[in-house]
Amino acid sequence: MAAILIFTLLIGITVWISFRQYGRIIQNIKLGQDVPIEGDQFQRLQNMAFVAFGQKKMFKNWIPAILHLFIYLAFLLTQIELLEILADGFSGNHRLFAPVLGSFYTFIISFIEILSLLAFGATVIFLLRRNVLKVARFQKPEMKGWPTRDANLILFGEILLIIGIFSMNGADTLLQNINPDHYPPTGSLAVSSWLGPWMFASLDAHTLVFLERFGWWLHLTVVLGFIMYLPFSKHLHVFFAFPNTYFSKLSPRGKMENMPAIMNEVKSMMGLGESSADEVMVGDLPEFGANDITSLSWRNLLEAYSCTECGRCTSVCPANQTGKKLSPRKVIMAIRDRTEEVGEKIRSGNPEFVRSDARVVGVKPNRANFDDGRSLFDLISPEEIHACTTCNACVEACPVLINPLEPILKLRRYEILTLSAGPSDWLPLFNSLENAGSAWQLAADRDAWTKEMNG
């Protein structure tokens, strides 16, 4: 009875903490601007099935893709064993599914054990790649400190999970012969049937019971800890990759979003619209682009929380490869960090974070009135966004369909159109486009050559 109470208490604490933390993240994502979700729903479901669930884009690099697949499949199928642990924990029984499923139970648990063994090998290799071989994309400046510790913590947690599985199953294999009434037969499991006798054959029954319970509780606590830890980790992509791939843009990668205010003005200047430029620009001038997370879309913020920090985007970025400061991964990480910061300040209710012209007694900060004197430009420098060549290499490389180019372009638009800033060597281009309709400052009209032909 005491074990059931402890088990129920652990589950309750996990559900309560997780509900709060995942709810906090959803609130943060809603701080972004609303955008319509357009396009074929079937195509979105295909993206989710093939890219998020099927890991399709991972296989552009075969070796890490196969190793990741071992861990991914082990993670998915281990949830079957977790269901049995939950059923046993609430009911006070032991291996509730074994007598019901019979030989199919043996097959399922054996398959999980084989995948767990492969996942153990993959986890060790990933630890070596990060900490001994020091793969270049994991050594970039944005990966120093917490991002590296976070990745290692999850890998060590995976090892603990596998230790729990084999400790539980290995000891249980021997206990089935000692106390068959309490330990129902599982059949000959693929790994534990030989690993258990090899490791634990010399131990007495009390020690075997301890090892079996140790493995059971270790497996449970690691899984529950993982669930509560995910909101603070880049491994949140385990869950968020699915909605992110579903809501990702279906338009061609090179297509840029129009800015209606500018598009309407240009149309009116060219006689293509019904309203004049004066009518378009009545009142305060609009802000173009984005300077903070509240002027990005909620989809941009979802992408930030879905980032795996794998660095594939940065490793193919031509600007980064030539030594420039731009790292698409760092841009996405900065958006996530800033979203966390803004979300916490809004939830604090401190009127200090209300925009000065909106401060009245009792008003609390919200998305519309928030201002803490900071912006994304405090985390992402102009030098970084200027270095982008808009080649879409980062977009193509991302295994979960994140588009780092979109927020970079929005930041550029804000800097150039709202702040009237930008690199000095870009100004002649802008002036030429505005005055002559050409990228080059030509003395003659662009269509002069056609007049010569017609003449």
Interval 97-117 mean pLDDT: 95
Q: Which tokens go with 186?
A: 């599982």
DSSP label of 57? G
Query: If DSSP codes are grouped into helix, strand and coil, which group holds residue 291?
Result: coil
In this predicted structure, the answer to whether residue 262 has a pLDDT above a threshold of 90 is: no
Tell me what pLDDT residue 453 has. Answer: 73
Residue 246 binned pLDDT confidence (cut-offs 50, 70, 90): very high
Q: DSSP for 185-206, please give it.
A: -----TTHHHHHHHHHTTS-HH
Q: Closest Cα to residue 393, out of 286, 296, 319, 291?
A: 319
Q: Closest Cα to residue 137, out of 150, 147, 124?
A: 147
Please give the single-letter amino acid code of residue 408.
I
Alpha helices, DSSP H, located in 132-204: 146-178, 192-200
Query: If DSSP codes are grouped into helix, strand and coil, which group holds residue 273?
Result: coil
Please give the single-letter amino acid code of residue 105.
Y
Q: What CA–CA distance (Å, rounded) separates 96 from 145?
A: 44
Tell me what pLDDT residue 273 has. Answer: 64
Q: Which tokens go with 298?
A: 């909620």
pLDDT digits (tens, 9 = 90+) for 9-56: 999 999 999 999 999 999 999 999 999 888 899 999 999 999 999 999
Tell me what pLDDT residue 279 has. Answer: 47
Instruction: Record the pTM.
Output: 0.90
Q: Closest Cα to residue 82, out of 419, 375, 409, 74?
A: 74
Q: What CA–CA distance (Å, rounded) separates 185 from 3?
A: 23
In this predicted structure, the answer to whether residue 158 has a pLDDT above a threshold of 50 is: yes
What is the CA angle 312-314-318, rounded to 5? 120
In this predicted structure, the answer to whether residue 435 has a pLDDT above a threshold of 90 is: no
Interval 285-314 mean pLDDT: 94
pLDDT digits (tens, 9 = 90+) for 173-221: 999 999 999 999 999 999 999 999 999 999 999 999 999 999 999 999 9
With beta carbons less than 8 A apart as the criterion, state whether 234 and 146 touch: no
Count of beta carbons in the 10 Å neighbourhood of residue 299: 21
From the number of C-beta atoms within 10 Å of its C-beta (0-12, 13-18, 19+), residue 304 rates as buried
Query: If DSSP codes are grouped into helix, strand and coil, which group holds residue 102?
Result: coil
In this predicted structure, the answer to whether residue 247 has a pLDDT above a threshold of 60 is: yes
Tell me what pLDDT residue 444 has. Answer: 64
Q: Closest Cα to residue 436, out of 424, 448, 450, 418?
A: 448
Q: Closest Cα to residue 410, out of 438, 390, 427?
A: 390
Query: If DSSP codes are grouped into helix, strand and coil, which group holds residue 354?
Result: strand
Interval 296-305 mean pLDDT: 97
From the number of C-beta atoms within 10 Å of its C-beta (0-12, 13-18, 19+), residue 192 rates as buried
With beta carbons less than 8 A apart as the criterion, state whether 130 and 152 touch: yes
Residue with tokens 């050559």: 449
Q: Closest Cα to residue 331, out of 343, 346, 322, 319?
A: 319
CA dihedral 104, 107, 109, 111 (to 10 degrees): -140
Tell me what pLDDT residue 443 has. Answer: 63
